[in-house]
Amino acid sequence: MLQVAFIRENKEAVLKGLAKRNLKNAEELVEKTISADEIRRATQTELDAVLAESNKLSKDIGMLFKTGERQKAEILKQKTVQLKEKSKELTETLQNKATELQDLLYLIPNIPNEIVPGGTSEEDNVNIFEEGTIPVLHEGALPHWELAKKYDIIDFELGNKIAGAGFPVYKGKGAKLQRALINYFLDKNAAAGYDEVQVPHLVNEASGIATGQLPDKEGQMYHDAQDDLYLIPTAEVPVTNIFRDVILKESEFPICKTAYTPCFRREAGSYGAHVRGLNRLHQFDKVEIVRIEHPSKSYEALEGMVAHVKDILQELKMPYRILRLCGGDIGFTSALTYDFELFSTAQDRWLEISSVSNFENFQANRLKLRFKNSEGKSELAHTLNGSSLALPRVLAGLLENCQTPEGIKIPKVLVPYCGFDIIN
């Protein structure tokens, strides 16, 4: 979340940034936040004065008893009773106002970087890079859901029987190809300096709040009410929360982590032809990269992450493009996001396969993730994350773009991982 001091001191810049996001109630939210903060600070000042006076009187009472001036001491004791009652009222007011302020701050999204374009939807995202040759498929080429059935490598109906729509069963060479992609992505990330971690697939509410999934995306997360735990929508949540309530040394930067996890999303309201097959699932596999950076280095790190994902797609020899997301499409917590899209020839459409984002200190403020700077003062770190990569649509694009009359040819870089070069 944004720091309340930043909002107070940069009100116009905050409103300008929120306008880029098309946030309709931005001015109301900001005014309420500033007002709540003013009351909270005034209450804190009054409480501090009451406590200081109470402490002084306690010392005076002790001295009066020592000198035998009992009557004066009793008069002062009555006053301390009044001060204690006043401090109790002020403490309650302060707690209520602090909760109100926190709830308001949770509703305010991050301020987009100045290079984020204006816009209202994905139609206004800017294509900044495109690479790869879109293959010309043979007559009778099929979309991936038909290929999955033809070669018996993914069973959507069986998954529907076991769990419901959006939970496919990978079989035979399909399962091996899925595992090959996971291992390849992890190896590429490790070679680029990302330390692999295995993390829980469920998180508590504090973890969801810390990375911004809660309360913003509560309706999209699977929740176990009995234990009050949430199935993760991305490895970003548990990996980033490794650093919750941590104070780092400046020498520890950069911190680079990678993790493979299944991901779970309710995807409420998703329907239609665009969600067929692997295009949108409730459970899917993803390999994530997370970085904790010094604020002065985070945008350099972001460019490095973008270059890393490009390298993977170049090795897979997939046609892809990179979009800079506009203010109307950028995520709640992000200051700047680049989306990677792979072209699905059989579907004749672009499929999103990765988002690489810089959150600046937005998540770090919720995480209470700080570091000691060169002057010995505590400062918020910057957090970044990216998909490297999300598997369902990568697999969908691979199946469709690599199909031939003889079968689906596996990209050379994956052959050592899966042990075969064709699905036929």
Binding residues: 234, 265-267, 288, 352-355, 385
Going by DSSP bridges, is the β-strand pair 255-264/195-196 parallel, antiparallel, or unpaired?
A: parallel
Residues 6+ apart with CB under 8 A from 225: none
Binding residues for ATP: 265-267, 352-355
Measuring CA to CA, which residue among 204, 261, 267 is closest to residue 234?
261
Q: Nearest Cα to 374, choosing from 319, 256, 311, 295?
A: 295
Annotated binding site for L-serine: 234, 265, 288, 385
What tokens were used for 335? Answer: 């200051």
Cβ 142 vs Cβ 150: under 8 Å:
yes
| CB 251 within 8 Å of CB 283 | no
Q: Which residue has the tokens 């929740």?
A: 223
> Could you please report the per-residue DSSP string of 120-152?
SSGGG-EEEEEESPPP-PPTT---HHHHHHHTT
Strand 336-344 relative to strand 320-324: parallel, antiparallel, unpaired? antiparallel
CA-nearest of 293, 4, 222 to 214 is 222
Dmax (CA) of the chain: 107
How far is Cα 423 from Cα 400, in angstroms, rounded to an integer?
12
For residue 249, the tally of other CB atoms under 10 A from its CB is 8
